[in-house]
Structure 1
Amino acid sequence: MNLDMVRTLSFARDGKTWPHRDASRFVRSGHIVWHVQDQGPPAAPVCLMIHGTGAASHSFRGLIPFFSQDHRVLVPDLPGHGFTTGARRRDLALPGMSRALGGLLRTLETKPDIVIGHSAGAALLLQAVLDGHLAPRLVFGLNSALEAIPGNAFLSPLAKVLFFNPWTANTVAMQARIGGLVQRLLKATGSQLDDEGKACYALLVSNPAHVKGALGMMAGWDLDPLVNRLGEIRVPVNLIAAADDPMVPARVSRSAARFLPGGRSSIVETGGHLLHEIAPGRIAGLVREDLARFQAG
């Protein structure tokens, strides 16, 4: 099943005010055409940033400038999300998305030096490390979704049903446009976004293809195999979490860090699930501290 059977976003039409638009490029890797934001010195160490379910590259709009002076920053829209097109159902599950990301990196002929993932994006990065698609010096997870979100026993089967219902994506998109759905979803994150962030999420959730991609990711997301193999990951990992995140409790990061041989957790008091969007400087500072510590040996 190709997600492009429903209406996709058009960068020419819908991306006119997309954050860091000038850094956007489109890269074909296999059957997927990726939207990738590529910013910073081309020969500098690469910093890869991966967003979570239902988001897109805009999620790192505030964090990119903190690293693009001395890193080449790559921020793709994941399969089924944002302006990336061509995804199939198998590309939305964790192994398939890891494989697709590996293909993109090979096409770009790049090997990221540091990687930063938010929520499900952190799980994807750890899976890609296990699969041999990534070998970074450091991994950073932001409110990392390394445990099923409460209610997932209900939500996952429901997502499967909704994913295969041909009317669902259009119905949800319509609700987003006229029914206040975006406001309710953002309120559930516990984060107070600026107007630019709200506008980006409104655009995404009002698009049927993006909605279908997010539902497909939820429907096929099985974390158990990854969690059971955390002890095999030898790369240093810092799981940064907000104590007031209502979606992924900070205890998830604390617990996962104990199973990672090079793992640690850093807990900040406030920020909610979208901590990196409302306090990018705080996150950049924590990442920079770890980079300095690592380089000092």
Structure 2
Amino acid sequence: MDTRQRMRETLLAGFPVDERRRHLAGVSTAVLEGGDGAAGPPVVLLHGPGEFAATWLPVLPRLARAHHVIVPDLPGHGDSLIDGVPLDAGRVLDWLGELVEETCAAPPVLVGKTIGGAVAARFAAGNRRRLAALVLVDSLGLTAFDPAPRFGLALHRFLGDPTPRSYERFMEFCAFDLDRVREHIGMRWDTYAAYAVELAADDRVQAALGGLIGQFAAAPIPPEQLAGIDVPTTLIWGRHDLATPLSVAEAASARYGWPLHVVEDAGDDPALDRPDAFIVALQASLGTVAVP
């Protein structure tokens, strides 16, 4: 067993999910699945650029009580391996379509964070009737990616020289309160951070990260595509997001009529920063479906 696999097993130990491998659009995809879906629709969770499925771990136990949850590593990220065929937008959307088809017995709620949100929005615009609802969490793609300078500098330094220190510095701008995040994740934090550094040092992961940003977030999704999304759509946003400010979500909410839930004391990852508040916002997004 290699170092990465040991890290993954440490992160996942004790969580109500199983790791499975599915071959989707030529991508050997690592997928976490859990919950029996007895009380609500399936929920598919898409993470952010350079991340991995385990970024959703703080909210998985509660979601799995009411839903079948499906949490993949995005193509080229984590342990999802690309076969060498270029990772263009069409292939990523085909990948997501196959994931939904193979794992969801009913139309799912598709939840996408940052770049995962941009992918989810593009998918929802072209796949009517395949989703029950769409939830965009601090999503990219609603405007051109133009983070606050200090966020952009920390991201550039981390990707240019992935070390524990550069990762910590970057996470200080992602999270509103990194000490609180560390406390919540507990003994898994060191492994979580080490795995993130390990992945960022992999040229293949960086190439996939750049590809997703280029295909889905370098330019805004055309407004006519967003207006064509005909499934219930909700925005969840950290008030202190330095990558895509809250004003972007407020403008999208006003333009498209999408409800907006603001998570206080959170940066660009409210599920990591404020998992309990995120669950409350997601429960409101799901309407009558309760998350215990």
TM-score by length of 1: 0.78
* 1:208 equivalent in alignment to 2:194: no
Please state how far the C-alpha of 1:200 moved relative to its aligned partner: 3.7
Please state how far the C-alpha of 1:213 moved relative to its aligned partner: 1.5
Quick check: 2:125–2:230 contact (8 Å CA) kept in 1? no
Specify the SS of the correspondent of 1:68: helix
Identify the residue that residue 79 of structure 1 maps to in structure 2: 75
Cα distance per residue 1:211-259 (max 9 Å; x no partner):
2221222233344344442111121111111221111101111111233
Identify the residue that residue 167 of structure 2 maps to in structure 1: 182
Q: Structure 1: which 5+ runs fail to align?
A: 1-8, 153-161, 163-170
Specify the SS of the correspondent of 1:234: coil
Q: How many residues align?
A: 267
Please state how far the C-alpha of 1:123 moved relative to its aligned partner: 1.5
Please state how far the C-alpha of 1:89 moved relative to its aligned partner: 6.1
Identify the residue that residue 99 of structure 1 maps to in structure 2: 94
Amino acid at match of 1:279: R
Q: What is the 5 A alignment of 1:1-297?
A: 12-19=5-12, 23-41=18-36, 45-86=41-82, 88=84, 90-91=86-87, 93-108=88-103, 110-132=105-127, 135-145=130-140, 146-150=142-146, 175-177=161-163, 180-191=165-176, 192=178, 193-194=181-182, 195=189, 197-221=192-216, 222-261=218-257, 263-293=258-288
Measured at CA, do residues 273 and 265 of structure 1 come closer, stay the same or move farther in structure 2, by a change above 3 Å? same
Amino acid at match of 1:17: T
Distance in 1 (CA, whole Å) between partners of 2:260 and 2:83 is 33
Cα distance per residue 1:21-61 (max 9 Å; x no partner):
75111111232100000011166631110111111101100
Specify the SS of the correspondent of 2:209: helix
Measured at CA, do residues 87 and 143 of structure 1 come closer, stay the same or move farther in structure 2, by a change above 3 Å? farther
Quick check: 2:44–2:71 contact (8 Å CA) kept in 1? yes
Specify the SS of the correspondent of 2:174: coil
Please state how far the C-alpha of 1:291 moved relative to its aligned partner: 2.4
Distance in 1 (CA, whole Å) between partners of 2:66 and 2:263 is 26
Single out whichever of 11-20 and 139-148 deviates more from structure 2: 11-20
Amino acid at match of 1:81: H
Measured at CA, do residues 173 and 151 of structure 1 come closer, stay the same or move farther in structure 2, by a change above 3 Å? closer
Distance in 1 (CA, whole Å) between partners of 2:129 and 2:55 is 22
Amino acid at match of 1:57: A
Distance in 2 (CA, whole Å) between partners of 1:174 and 1:143 is 24
Distance in 2 (CA, whole Å) between partners of 1:269 and 1:42 is 29
Quick check: 2:253–2:259 contact (8 Å CA) kept in 1? yes
Amino acid at match of 2:53: S
Distance in 2 (CA, whole Å) between partners of 1:133 and 1:201 is 35
Specify the SS of the correspondent of 1:287: helix
Identify the residue that residue 6 of structure 1 maps to in structure 2: none
Question: Cα RMSD over matched residues?
Answer: 3.0
TM-score by length of 2: 0.80
Specify the SS of the correspondent of 2:259: strand
Measured at CA, do residues 118 and 86 of structure 1 come closer, stay the same or move farther in structure 2, by a change above 3 Å? same
Single out whichever of 46-55 and 181-190 deviates more from structure 2: 181-190
